[in-house]
Amino acid sequence: MHLRGQGRRLNAALIDLKTERNRRVPNPDQIIIAGAGIAGLTLALALSKKGFAVQIFEKSATLAEIGAGLQISPNATRLLDRLGVLERLKYSSVEPEAICLQDGASGERLLHFPIGNRAKERWGAPYIVCHRADLQDALLNEARSHPNIAIQLQSAVTQHGADAAGILVRVQYHDRIEEHRGALLVGADGVWSNMRTATSDAERARYTGTVAWRSSIAVEHLPASFKALLPPGTNVVAWTGANAHLIAYPIRSGQMINFVAVAPDRQNGRRWDVQTNPDSLNQNFIREFAGWHRGIHDVMLIARPWTAWRLFEMKKCRFQIEDRLVLIGDAAHAMTPYAAQGAAMAIEDACALASALSVNGTMWPSALEQFSKVRTKRVGAVVRRGALNHLAYHAKGPVAVARNILLRNRPVEKFVKGFDWLYGYDAEKENK
């Protein structure tokens, strides 16, 4: 058997940390998942519900507080609900009343899009906002209650190879290499996917030249000038401006406000510090929002540290790599966050894949082909929506004026209708 992949040394610092390793008798029919992020954990749950045995390998020692806030739209919450995860998120997530667009310079309201009850009535599931760590916790806790899901941390999948009997996966666990057999390997290993780059013709994720700055602040510390800019109630608010935008919404049961500010990378490709010091914050980041409303400036200075996330994307999504190797989530289609759909697409991929595999029984090759076809079309449409949002959010000059006129005057019902294809979608049904 020819093995693909690359040798990888585990970070020695991780080795001493807590290990989760619930051992099970090796099962050659099991499905092996590389990565216990949003995509990997959701897939494990969806497969387990359909009777499959699942083994997840996660290279990190702990599934910790990585990331920041996430908006999760009804196309994903309907799936989380079926998996029992939405219930677990009930106390930490928030259902915003509306999504509001405002002008970054004047603070003027451009669009007020009520979403609270509408999401459930029209699209059959809620629109929620939460911390990524709360979502990952809810997925993990649900997974731990399934006896046919085994999770092994500190375990990086480094190589794989297939033969008629199935797939052989090599895993670096502490200082030794383990071998595991399964029927299928799913790479849910994120934007830097080893599973994807192990193939010679693989596309690598491309840097967009744009950075998302993320921070959060306790509600009681919000400056008055910023509070005055907020519409009444609990909302997702986006401020638009030339080449940049800022989004704010509540997380952690509404105790904190999460911020995402997206702007061009003025460092011209030099490495960003993981967290900024106040000087680079002032020089490189706040400067981008120079002409913006005072309330926005005030909150940006208070809500520190800001963590920089360089934004990467792939030009083409790619699901099936080999007969027994499939990618899902960011590994298959890293995308920019303008449509707030990266995690939602990871959740859709996972449920669609489980559905396709269960419906097609032993006919996996055709199931995977069909899955790949349906998901490529769907993700392509979402990526195009993201590109459109990018243009609209960051418009300047006459284009910005035209955008503002359209947003102010177009009936809200027309905007609502324009989201039916996105939020009303049921990924499981589409893959049956």
Ligand X SMILES: Cc1cc2nc3c(=O)[nH]c(=O)nc-3n(C[C@H](O)[C@H](O)[C@H](O)COP(=O)(O)OP(=O)(O)OC[C@H]3O[C@@H](n4cnc5c(N)ncnc54)[C@H](O)[C@@H]3O)c2cc1C
Please tell me whether residue 343 binds ligand X under the rule CB under 6 A.
Answer: yes
Asked if residues 384 and 82 have their Cβ atoms less than 8 Å apart, the reply is no
**Closest C-alpha among 418, 356, 429 to residue 388:** 418
Report how far Cα 255 is from the mean position of its chain's Cα atoms.
Answer: 22
Please tell me the count of residues contacting ligand X according to CB under 6 A. Answer: 35
Give, as ranges, the residues between 140 and 179 that touch ligand X (CB under 6 A).
Answer: 156-157
Please tell me whether residue 236 binds ligand X under the rule CB under 6 A.
Answer: no
Nearest residue (CB) to ligand X, 36 versus 47: 36
Please tell me whether residue 313 binds ligand X under the rule CB under 6 A.
Answer: no
Give, as ranges, the residues between 262 and 281 that touch ligand X (CB under 6 A).
Answer: none
Please tell me whether residue 103 binds ligand X under the rule CB under 6 A.
Answer: no
Please tell me whether residue 240 binds ligand X under the rule CB under 6 A.
Answer: no
Structure token digits, residue 331: 């590994």
User: Could you tell me which stretch among 34-42, 300-308, 355-363, 391-399 binds ligand X (CB under 6 A)?
Assistant: 34-42
Report how far Cα 208 is from the mean position of its chain's Cα atoms.
Answer: 17
Structure token digits, residue 50: 């359909």
Cβ density class 203-237: b for 16+ within 10 Å, e for less: eebeebebbbbbbbbeeeebbeebeebbeeebbbb
User: Which residues, at least 6 apart from 108, have a Cβ–Cβ distance to it below 8 Å?
Assistant: 102
Please tell me whether residue 58 binds ligand X under the rule CB under 6 A.
Answer: yes
Selected binder of ligand X within 52, 57, 292, 419 (CB under 6 A): 57
d(CA 268, CA 294): 27
Instruction: Please provide the size of the chain in residues.
Output: 432
Please tell me whether residue 258 binds ligand X under the rule CB under 6 A.
Answer: no
Please tell me whether residue 235 binds ligand X under the rule CB under 6 A.
Answer: no
Please tell me whether residue 101 binds ligand X under the rule CB under 6 A.
Answer: no
Selected binder of ligand X within 293, 337, 395, 425 (CB under 6 A): 337
Show the site string, 293-312: x = touches ligand X by CB under 6 A, - = not: ----------------x---
Please tell me whether residue 77 binds ligand X under the rule CB under 6 A.
Answer: no
Nearest residue (CB) to ligand X, 38 versus 321: 38
Please tell me whether residue 37 binds ligand X under the rule CB under 6 A.
Answer: yes
Show the site string, 173-192: x = touches ligand X by CB under 6 A, - = not: ---------------xxx--
Please tell me whether residue 115 binds ligand X under the rule CB under 6 A.
Answer: no
Structure token digits, residue 404: 């503002």
DSSP string, 238-294: EEEETTEEEEEEEEGGGTEEEEEEEEE-TTTTPPPPSB--HHHIIIIIGGGGTTS-H
Phi, psi (deg, nearest 5) at residue 172: -90, 110
Q: Distances in Å between the alpha carbon of 336 and those of 71, 206, 424?
A: 14, 11, 22
d(CA 289, CA 359): 51
Please tell me whether residue 346 binds ligand X under the rule CB under 6 A.
Answer: yes
Selected binder of ligand X within 71, 102, 210, 389 (CB under 6 A): 71
What residue ranges bind ligand X (CB under 6 A)?
34-40, 57-60, 67, 70-72, 156-157, 188-190, 194, 212, 214, 260, 309, 329-331, 337, 340-344, 346
